[in-house]
Chains A and B, each alone.
Chain A
């Protein structure tokens, strides 16, 4: 029997607003528990929400980028359920009139483009966090996250396998970071998804029974969780049994999904329009302002990098594909004119280092200013490229500035012809046999002499000068 997988993703994007969706408490990550919490966030009796328009602007920016319809009048609804980290006993969300309807995202799989349609995207507040394993016999609640704005983006069930799901999430990550809608930090939960997975016989029109895998927060886990779930469901169907519609959790330590307690999905959320908030109306002027201030997207950057800075198509595409890399490049080129060398370094040495460390450039100790300085020192021949690499290693570990490293370790390149000539003469005098062989026609020995000079200067001799003086002396 041949099976077909149908996947729809609900992506939760934490919007990078300074304050919460309905209160003016900070959204900063990593504060001590219950410090980014005000009267509204802890749901005290008598408090009322008031809308943070900034969250709307970001949601609209997302909607525009995916070619969606923007509802200039949108309303909030209450989703009622009890949980200890949900202070009001309801979540304020958007049910009937979400801010964004429709749109689509393109993903590329094996060099083929596929369009995934978006059903809708709505604004809602996040809940707090329950901590069950830190205090013996007690659960603790941290409300710092309560009220943080989320944009929930619902895709159509048009994703066919785990690879496509990952590509979709990567495209989503790229989009929300370039739009400055979210920091996209998956480890901190700024971007996470629920995957609805179902299986049907190939060619069937009707969808199979789906399960929902909740709260997946890395590209790797998305792939693994979905693949596990596909296999599990196919096995059930091949045994002639039925898939149970349920909510499941992915356990990365065991690489499996398992059902959440049945209570969790037996909820009737009793949605109704939030009476504490009027419909939110976005004016034409506000829409125009968002349009006017629209950030540059990867495709536009790619073209600009080639036209303005003479980057190759390949280099421009790589640098423009990541928001943090593009930001780094654009900051660094304020401080250096050798764009090609900068882009070579970003794609070569720097990318290699980041890949090895599995981090983004903004999470490293590298600063754009210091990398530009390194490029300038190579460019003005203060140091050689080779010395540059060893300086770079030091920059990565302790974040120090190239000039400091050069100065403290005396790494300036020797470009003074007299000094180089002296060293070359020493090398010639000390290696008469090799000189004889070279002059007899063994050209390959030229490299040997260069090596000797570099050894004596600890690699600091200007290679160009060494080459030309050496050639002269060995005539």
Chain B
């Protein structure tokens, strides 16, 4: 029986009833990765180590953990000891970390097997995976179309059924938007739920790791393992981690879902709008109530985000200077020349653009007008959410205004066009709130995602609502036709 498109829960059963060994499972997963090489999901494979670890699991036969022997893919901005970690950038194309990110380490300690590192937008800056130094990733649903970004490789690898789940990171929608475009489930947890130690920073106050999987249930399994306070990341939350799997089946009768007044959905593509209306009805049928809520400052989310995120990125990326690690330019005149050449050669255009924007936003004389102002607006947006959650349990929006688009069709002339892709996802990063994207059908044979935003630390409610939806629909079971690859 093929393992392709199987969920973690399915594979667990197969491993437990011995219909497959861990070695066979990993072997098949690696073969699928090779078979669909053209998708370009992976930057680096971890074949030798994966096979060894699977063999060891078969020999030991200790499968106390749900994740034991399960193949996973890690976004290539999680540091992995001894395994190249590039952030899909030329500047790190030769970087082999001496340590492993906490989130990945927890998954690996639970027995899962990292079969490879997935392609992404360079340093997670992008919404189409087109800024990668290692080339575009194809959307498994349609060749020549973007998978979304920045966790595009992870989303495509899961959508193509190569691995049941993968890690991603979400700074402004980088888990949810590719999950939506690839027809899978992606969760961005509360800021601080998962340690950022070993996650190469884009924008520290917004970055959050999370799972991409075929189902909400699998997201819960991964979240259970990835969550928790880490002394090495003092911004990680020191709060109790509930068993997300345990409460996933609660009835959602009486769940109050807010619709954000300021998001005028009638501007959207009529079919995207129609999908949304239908899912709303589905939730009503499951017992949820819909309430219109106002978040007056939410329309300022995109400019606020594009002041804060580039500012933090401009500082975070200063360490890539060619001195201690990463790409170093040859034949340079002096230290300044070394910096200029190494960084000019090492970074791609979008990364350079954001470093420039961020440097400007933090400059003397502009700081108050941009960075400081943006932080004040951020606080207002957060207050709006706090108010809304006085009367609702969750908020519902489309994940993305559009379906996946053709390579090169957006943002090449005007980058802002691409920035607007994140309209619905960005605000939850600014407010630090959890949000999930679940597939809810297709428009023109391309998947569409539905987003639920939850209150602080209420991933349990989101996973519960998503799981009940998936139990009563089969959108999440749809598989792409991979015949073109």
Contacts and interface: CB of A to CB of B under 8 A. Distances in A.
Contact of B315 (A49, A89, A268): A89
A39 B325 CA distance: 12
Contacts of B95: 45
A272 B199 contact: no
A48 B197 contact: yes
B235 interface: yes
Contact of A46 (B199, B320, B363): B199
A84 B319 CA distance: 10
Interface residues of B, number: 45
Contacts of A80: 314-315, 318, 362
Interface string B309-350: 001101101111101110000000001000100000000000
Interface stretch (B97-105, B179-187, B253-261): B97-105
Interface in A389-423: none
B321 A82 contact: yes
Contacts of B315: 78, 80, 89-90, 270, 272
A43 B97 CA distance: 12
B371 interface: yes
Interface string B76-117: 011100000101000010010111010000000000000000
A244 interface: no
Interface in A235-275: 268, 270-272, 275
Contacts of B362: 80, 270-272
B359 interface: yes
B243 interface: no
Contacts of B363: 268, 270
B341 to A, nearest CB: 13
A276 interface: yes
Nearest to B323: A84
Contacts of B234: 48-51, 276-278
A12 to B, nearest CB: 23
Interface in A72-89: 78, 80, 82-84, 87-89
Given A45-B97, A50-B231, A80-B318, A275 B204 contact: yes
A246 to B, nearest CB: 18
A360 to B, nearest CB: 37
Contacts of B319: 43, 45, 87-89
B205 interface: yes
Contact of A39 (B99, B199, B359): B99
Nearest to B365: A268
* Contact count band on A: 20 to 34
Given A45-B97, A87-B319, A276 B371 contact: no
A25 to B, nearest CB: 14
Contacts of A44: 79, 97-99, 324-325
Contacts, number: 103
A31 interface: no
Contacts of B324: 42-44, 87
A46 B197 contact: yes
Contacts of A89: 315, 317-319, 321
Contacts of B201: 45-46, 276
A47 interface: yes
A277 B235 contact: yes
A82 B318 contact: yes
Contacts of A141: 323
B369 interface: no
B200 interface: yes
B198 interface: yes
Interface in B156-206: 196-201, 203-205
Contacts of B419: none
A226 B95 CA distance: 48
A90 B200 contact: no
B405 interface: no
Interface in B47-83: 77-79
A47 B78 CA distance: 11
Contacts of B198: 46-47
A127 B320 CA distance: 17
Most B CB contacts (10 A, CB to CB) among A83, A268, A277 go to: A268
A90 B315 CA distance: 7
B197 to A, nearest CB: 6
Contacts of A50: 231-234
Nearest to A43: B319
B367 interface: yes
Contacts of A47: 197-198
A276 B318 contact: no
B364 interface: yes
A88 B318 contact: yes
Contacts of B335: 83-84, 139
B339 A82 contact: yes
A381 to B, nearest CB: 62
A292 to B, nearest CB: 27
A159 B260 CA distance: 61
A88 B364 CA distance: 21
B298 to A, nearest CB: 22
Nearest to A51: B234
A268 B365 CA distance: 10
A92 to B, nearest CB: 11
Nearest to B206: A275
B305 to A, nearest CB: 14
A295 to B, nearest CB: 29
A87 B321 CA distance: 9
Interface in A16-73: 39, 42-51
A463 to B, nearest CB: 68
Nearest to B95: A45
A278 B238 CA distance: 12
Nearest to A80: B315
A275 B196 CA distance: 12
B318 A46 contact: no
A447 to B, nearest CB: 75
Contacts of A277: 234-235
Contacts of A270: 314-315, 359, 362-364, 367
A93 B110 CA distance: 38
A29 B67 CA distance: 46
B360 to A, nearest CB: 10
User: Which of A46, A82, A275 has its CB near the most chain B CB atoms (within 10 A)?
Assistant: A46
A177 to B, nearest CB: 31
A192 B325 CA distance: 32
Interface string B203-217: 111000000000000
A45 B97 CA distance: 8
A270 B197 CA distance: 25
A78 to B, nearest CB: 6
A54 to B, nearest CB: 15
B351 to A, nearest CB: 14
A12 B362 CA distance: 27
Contacts of A90: 315, 318
A89 B317 CA distance: 8
Contacts of A84: 321, 323, 335
A48 B300 CA distance: 30
Nearest to B123: A45
A45 B92 contact: yes
A429 to B, nearest CB: 86
Contacts of B205: 275
B233 A48 contact: yes
Contacts of B235: 48, 275-278
Q: Which 10 A-B pairs have the closest CB atoms?
A: A89-B318, A275-B204, A270-B362, A275-B205, A46-B198, A45-B200, A46-B79, A43-B319, A46-B200, A50-B234
30 contacts: A39-B98, A43-B324, A44-B79, A44-B97, A45-B92, A45-B200, A45-B201, A46-B99, A46-B101, A46-B198, A46-B199, A46-B200, A49-B234, A50-B231, A82-B318, A83-B335, A84-B321, A87-B319, A89-B319, A90-B315, A141-B323, A268-B363, A268-B364, A270-B367, A271-B367, A272-B311, A275-B235, A276-B201, A276-B234, A277-B234
Given A39-B99, A272-B312, A276-B201, 7 more contacts: A49-B234, A51-B234, A84-B335, A87-B319, A88-B318, A139-B335, A275-B312
